[in-house]
Amino acid sequence: MEALLQVRDLDKHFGGLRACDRATFDVEQGKIAGMIGPNGAGKTTAFNCVAGFLKPDGGEVFFAGEDVTGLPPHRMFDKGLVRTFQIPQELDTMTVLENLMLAGERQSGEAVWRNWLVPWKVREEEQRLEARAHEVLEQTQLGHQAYLRAGALSGGQRKLLELARALMAEPRMILLDEPGAGVNPALVRRLAQHIRELSERLGLSFLIIEHNLDFVRQLCDPVIVMAQGQVLDVGSADDVLSNPEVQAAYLSGQRTT
Ligand SMILES: Nc1ncnc2c1ncn2[C@@H]1O[C@H](COP(=O)(O)OP(=O)(O)O)[C@@H](O)[C@H]1O
Ligand SMILES: [Mg+2]
């Protein structure tokens, strides 16, 4: 069976710099794939090209068998591929529930106009969003925090809310860019548990960039290693980390950053 996400010869250049240089990888349905590599390897650039935040200069992206190369983020969101973002400060004064409803709403672009013209549709849409938000609260065990302001959440709950906002799309695949950054080890473990549970219960697929190799070892298979814009190796965490080429890429990466 073909993979849910297929990235083929992805190129992205910034001036003369080849941030992605024919990067090629797959993520299969239901897998929690990791992406690692030294700083500047092109991981975030590859993510943004896949999720529609950057237009690739070359190559192809297929999602669920469909060519989605260069589609904008809201189209990718509708197709079930979303990336998470840190919750902007402006949303701190809104409740967890409102944060979720807003995340679900923002994407349904044309619907806004239709709703504006047909007032009863507004109520209907709000009810739909609220029902979905309550489902997501349950899935992420944030139900008790529904009416708490986002700014009052603990660090770990805030990370969960980021994930919950992505879940509003009823996604098939979620991309996470360094979810463990700045989070203490106990919370990182809990976050890993949540991700695994969501994957098992909902059949969700993940692609996760992470520097914390314990997290990657615990959670991710396969692990995709990027270096200098290319995919250097793919395999289990233990396999790729024992590859001398991967070790060398990390060492040379450290020297330059
Ligand atoms: N918007 C941008 N403009 C110019 N250069 C960029 C931009 N984004 C990333 N780069 C460069 O592309 C390379 C890859 O960056 P990035 O994808 O962020 O790597 P990683 O996430 O693996 O650390 C780096 O050299 C970085 O400086
Ligand atoms: Mg990055």
pLDDT mean across residues, the chain = 91
How many whole angstroms from 12 Cα to the centroid of ligand 1? 10
- Among 69-78, 135-144, 205-214, 247-256, whose mean pLDDT is lowest? 247-256
- CA torsion angle for 57, 52, 221, 196 (degrees, to 10)? 170
Over residues 181-192, the mean pLDDT reads 86
| CATH 3.40.50.300 intervals, the chain | 1-80+172-198+212-257
Per-residue pLDDT at 187? 85
Which of 14, 55, 210 for a ligand 1 pocket mutation test, highest count of atoms within 8 Å of Cβ?
Answer: 14
The answer to whether residue 74 scores a pLDDT higher than 60 is: yes
Number of helices followed by number of strands (H, E) in the chain: 10, 10
Q: Could you tell me which residue, 110 or 134, shows the higher pLDDT?
A: 134
Which ligand is closest in space to the CA of residue 228? 1
How many whole angstroms from 238 Cα to the centroid of ligand 1? 27
Residue 117: pLDDT band (50, 70, 90) is: low
**How far is 124 from 104, CA to CA, in rounded Å?**
14
Q: Could you tell me which residue, 17 or 154, shows the higher pLDDT?
A: 17
How many whole angstroms from 37 Cα to the centroid of ligand 2? 9
Number of neighbours of residue 175 by Cβ within 10 angstroms: 25
Contacts of 184 (CB under 8 A, 6+ apart): 155
pTM of the model: 0.90
For residue range 229-239, list pLDDT tens digits in order: 999 999 999 99
Q: Which atom of ligand 1 is nearest to the CA of 209?
A: 21
The answer to whether residue 63 scores a pLDDT higher than 80 is: yes
Over residues 112-119, the mean pLDDT reads 64
Q: Which residues line ligand 1 (CB under 6 A)?
A: 14, 17, 19, 37, 39-45
Q: Which atom of ligand 1 is nearest to the CA of 37?
A: 22
Over residues 112-133, the mean pLDDT reads 77
| Cβ(173)–Cβ(206) below 8 Å | yes
How many whole angstroms from 58 Cα to the centroid of ligand 1? 17
Ramachandran class of 147: left when φ > 0, alpha when ψ lies in -120 to 50, beta otherwise: alpha
Q: Which atom of ligand 1 is nearest to the CA of 42?
A: 17
Residue 86: pLDDT band (50, 70, 90) is: confident
**CATH, domain range 1-80+172-198+212-257:** 3.40.50.300
